[in-house]
């Protein structure tokens, strides 16, 4: 397919437009942002950036549309989501090509994970619209769950379509009207998504897209008086700024923020299974996932065995051009992330962690592009920066422990609590340990992804939940008719 999809997107004028009040509207401002192909470090497109005025127009359009859309029967909303789901699947290759180009996901991974997982969020939202009890009697009282109103959605660059559909699907199922700000670093898949929403027959003004940066468009969404709720997926720092901007209008703020997820390997675990699966989870999407389990907590007397298995696993990775079908790990998504990862690998070396494999610099034979070497450290102390700070790259810390109580203490010993993993031969014992870990999700023995399982954080990983029933409920208010 090459770049034909991008040329067609440009020919339709989308790169210079916003989608506001049911129309593609040329951006009135002069601000533009280059979209960089992280595999070449070269610009592939330039998109228009919106302003506070664009947010105001979108929010007011959403407010007008909400009056009718919020009263739609749930089945009618489900039908809209069903059409949108079908269009995402029909255009899956377009989305995969866009995601691979804008943030470097290997094309095979974009096709097998980034796009189909995104489609699943819309499917789950469709099913919830049909089955959720929006009205329930409680004695002589009726309990109604009604849409909160106009919602501002701020999404990141690492899973660009997946995070959009997680929020938009739930908001539409609830009956909310939307103002979406995708990341300015990965806006191409969002433009394709806006076309799909329009083609699915979404009513005028219900869905609006304003491209832009955080300080301009993100801040305007967070503070706008016509927006009743903001949902952000991003860094903890960005979440704090959104909450501060939202406070004067007392709007609801849902935050899915940073993580430093543990992977606790119990003494009876099969290391030959647990370590490769744990490493794959920690370095999927090149470690650019907020819930990536990048701290592997291993019995101290089995640390050497875990190191050998980890090194052999990394040796099987194919880091390279994301356009190649054989590539398992592409480049980091942008220059800032590349520099962050390189700096944190240096921090690990300075702190005295022992390098098992990888290290600073690009992999051999890759002289340009934001490529990083998948890196494993051992003899990592729990207080080291590489064990405490979110790196957001392919860097795994092996941490030894002497007993399970110490392992749980290490697992809980960061300011984050988004995801966690526990591996063990005794399922009941592994579940008992999972109950002791303070995080929003705990994966026991590397299960399949469940799109209906609620996702969100304890502590500084945020508040609120996404996905499934709980994700839908974030967009609902409760009314009692007595």
Q: Helices 188-199 and 4-11: crossing angle, nearest 10°? A: 60
Among 257, 345, 260, smallest CA distance to 296 is for 260
pLDDT of residue 2: 54
Q: Please say if the pLDDT value at position 3 is more than 90.
A: no
Q: What is the per-residue pLDDT across 180-191, written as a single tens digit (0 to 9) for each? A: 999 999 999 999
Q: What is the mean predicted confidence (pLDDT) over 474-479?
A: 98
Cβ atoms of residues 285 and 159 within 8 Å: yes
Which residues are the active-site residues?
A: 256, 290
- Cα-to-chain-centroid distance, residue 73: 30
Tell me what pLDDT residue 28 has. 87
**Residue 467 to residues 1, 156, 441, 474, Cα–Cα distance (Å):** 32, 16, 12, 10
Domains of the chain: 4-257+461-481 (3.40.605.10), 262-450 (3.40.309.10)
* Rounded Cα–Cα distance for residues 410 and 398 (Å): 12
C-alpha closest to that of 238 among 111, 54, 390 = 390
DSSP H helical segments within 352-467, as ranges? 385-388, 404-411, 427-436
Counting residues of the chain whose pLDDT is more than 70, the rounded percentage is 100
Residue 256 has pLDDT above 80, yes or no: yes
pLDDT tens-digit map of 9-64: 999 999 999 999 999 999 988 899 999 999 999 999 999 999 999 999 999 999 99
Give the whole-angstrom CA distance, residue 242 versus residue 222.
Answer: 6
**CA–CA dist 227, 277 (Å, integer):** 42
Q: Which helix (H) or strand (E) holds 162?
A: helix 160-174
pLDDT digits (tens, 9 = 90+) for 293-348: 999 999 999 999 999 999 999 999 999 999 999 999 999 999 999 999 999 999 99
Average pLDDT over residues 233-261: 97
What is the average pLDDT value for the chain, to the nearest integer?
A: 97
The pTM score is 0.97
For 426-442, the pLDDT digits (tens) are: 999 999 999 999 999 99
User: For 51-108, what is each residue's pLDDT tens digit?
Assistant: 999 999 999 999 999 999 999 999 999 999 999 999 999 999 999 999 999 999 999 9
pLDDT at 1 over 90: no
The C-alpha angle with vertex 451 and arms to 232 and 38, in degrees rounded to 5, equals: 55
Looking at 360-394, which runs of residues are DSSP E strands? 373-378
Backbone angles phi, psi at 295, to 5 degrees: -115, 110
Which pLDDT tens digit goes with each residue over 264-308?
Answer: 999 999 999 999 999 999 999 999 999 999 999 999 999 999 999
């Amino acid at each position: 397919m090459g770049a034909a999809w991008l040329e067609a997107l440009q020919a339709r004028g989308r790169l210079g437009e916003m989608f506001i009040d049911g129309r593609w509207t040329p951006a009135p401002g002069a601000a533009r942002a280059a979209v960089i192909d992280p595999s070449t470090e070269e610009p592939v497109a330039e998109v228009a950036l919106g302003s506070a005025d664009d947010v105001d127009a979108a929010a007011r359009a959403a407010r007008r549309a909400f009056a009718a859309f919020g009263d739609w029967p749930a089945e009618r909303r489900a039908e809209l989501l069903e059409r949108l789901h079908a269009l995402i699947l029909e255009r899956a290759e377009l989305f995969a090509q866009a995601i691979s180009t804008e943030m470097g996901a290997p094309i095979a991974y974009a096709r097998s994970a980034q796009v189909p997982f995104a489609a699943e969020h819309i499917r789950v939202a469709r099913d919830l619209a049909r089955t959720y009890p929006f009205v329930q009697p409680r004695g002589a009282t009726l309990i109604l769950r009604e849409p909160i109103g106009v919602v501002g959605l701020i999404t990141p660059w690492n899973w660009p379509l997946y995070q959009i559909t997680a929020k938009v699907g739930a908001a539409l199922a609830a009956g909310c009207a939307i103002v979406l700000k995708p990341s300015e670093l990965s806006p191409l898949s969002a433009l394709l998504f806006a076309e799909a929403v329009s083609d699915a027959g979404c009513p005028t003004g219900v869905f609006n897209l304003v491209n832009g940066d955080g300080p301009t468009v993100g801040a305007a969404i967070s503070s706008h008086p016509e927006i009743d709720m903001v949902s952000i997926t991003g860094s903890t720092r960005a979440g704090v700024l959104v909450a501060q901007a939202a406070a004067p209008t007392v709007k609801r703020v849902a935050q899915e923020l940073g993580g430093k997820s543990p992977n606790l390997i119990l003494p009876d675990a099969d290391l030959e299974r647990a370590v490769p699966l744990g490493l794959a989870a920690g370095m999927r999407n090149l470690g650019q996932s907020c819930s990536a389990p990048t701290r592997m907590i291993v019995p101290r007397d089995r640390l050497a065995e875990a190191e050998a298995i980890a090194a052999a696993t990394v040796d099987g990775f194919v880091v390279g051009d994301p356009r190649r079908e054989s590539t398992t790990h592409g480049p980091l998504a942008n220059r800032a992330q590349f520099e962050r990862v390189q700096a944190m690998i240096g921090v690990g070396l300075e702190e005295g962690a022992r390098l098992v494999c990888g290290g600073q610099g690009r992999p051999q034979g890759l002289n340009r592009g934001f490529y990083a070497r998948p890196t494993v450290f051992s003899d990592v102390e729990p207080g080291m920066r590489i064990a405490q700070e979110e790196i957001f790259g392919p860097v795994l810390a092996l941490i030894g422990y002497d007993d399970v109580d110490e392992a749980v203490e290490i697992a809980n010993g960061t300011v984050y609590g988004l995801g966690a993993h526990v591996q063990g031969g005794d399922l009941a014992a592994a579940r008992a340990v999972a109950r002791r870990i303070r995080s929003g999700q705990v994966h026991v023995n590397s299960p399949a992804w469940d799109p209906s399982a609620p996702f969100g954080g304890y502590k500084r990983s945020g508040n609120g939940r996404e996905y499934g029933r709980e994700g839908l409920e974030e967009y609902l208010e409760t009314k009692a008719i007595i």
